[in-house]
């Protein structure tokens, strides 16, 4: 099974997925009922190691899986076909990136964050003000959520608002998606006020 963890840059994908193995162990050991292979007919994950997690942005860099370099944006244009083939070979359970929803997945987690907080996080991470603002606007417009729903359908999308959650708390909610204990959800936040 593959679970994509996507969201606008700054929503906390890298941080939450880095905490995932520890949180998975803590949650699944604490709840023996999640060791079943299916919950309510849904496939579940009952074991997770660091090898099961793939950070696409690292892979794109380390394997040079890009077709072009965008100097203005200080970023690369990913070669999605090459990326898909490398990811298929590695068969990870969790795929983390703002591009993850462009690859096939059984479930898609979309991390969300209130745009002002998102911009604050990006500035704190060292991003330029312009880039932080651009991403905050994109988050207010639900761009990645809409793409995820269009590609994978409402029944496969799980929206998680990270605005007031710690990375561990966000990771716990992703664990619930992996173990089949969370229902799909989309449109649970409304950040459009940021644009007014």
CB closer to ligand ADP, 20 vs 65:
20
Q: Cβ 8 to ligand ADP, closest distance in Å?
A: 7
Parallel, antiparallel or unpaired: strands 107-112 and 3-7: parallel
Task: Give me the sheet containing 107-112, strands edge to edge.
Answer: 53-55, 94-96, 3-7, 107-112, 157-161
Binding site for ligand ADP (CB under 6 A): 7, 9-15, 121, 124-125, 162, 165-167, 170
| Residue 160, φ and ψ in degrees, nearest 5 | -130, 120
Say whether 131 counts as a known binding-site residue: no
Shortest Cβ 96–ligand ADP spacing (Å): 7
Q: What Å distances lie between residue 36 and 29, 91, 116, 123, 181, CA to CA?
A: 12, 21, 41, 43, 11
Rounded least distance, CB 158 to ligand ADP, Å: 16
Q: Is 166 annotated as a binding residue?
A: no
**Distance, CA of 179 to CA of 20 (rounded, Å):** 12
125 annotated to a ligand binding site: yes
Shortest separation between residue 109's beta carbon and ligand ADP, angstroms: 11
Closest to ligand ADP by CB, 12 vs 115, is 12
Instruction: Point out the annotated binding site.
Output: 10, 12-15, 125
Q: Cite the annotated binding site for ATP by residue number.
A: 10, 12-15, 125
């Amino acid at each position: 099974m593959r679970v994509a963890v996507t969201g606008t840059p700054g929503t906390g994908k890298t941080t939450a997925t880095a905490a995932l193995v520890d949180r998975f162990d803590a949650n699944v050991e604490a709840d023996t009922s999640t060791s079943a292979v299916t919950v309510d007919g849904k496939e579940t994950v009952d074991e997770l190691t660091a090898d099961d997690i793939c950070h696409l942005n690292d892979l794109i860099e380390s394997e040079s899986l890009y077709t072009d370099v965008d100097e203005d944006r200080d970023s690369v244009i990913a070669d999605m076909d090459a990326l898909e083939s490398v990811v298929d070979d590695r068969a990870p359970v969790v795929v983390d990136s703002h591009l993850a929803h462009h690859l096939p997945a059984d479930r898609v987690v979309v991390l969300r964050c209130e745009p002002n907080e998102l911009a604050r996080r990006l500035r704190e991470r060292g991003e330029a003000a312009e880039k932080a603002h651009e991403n905050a606007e994109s988050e207010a417009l639900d761009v990645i959520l809409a793409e995820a729903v269009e590609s994978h359908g409402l029944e496969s999308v799980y929206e998680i608002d990270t605005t007031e959650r710690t990375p561990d708390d966000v990771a716990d909610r992703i664990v619930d998606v992996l173990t089949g204990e969370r229902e799909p959800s989309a449109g649970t936040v409304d950040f459009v006020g940021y644009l007014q």
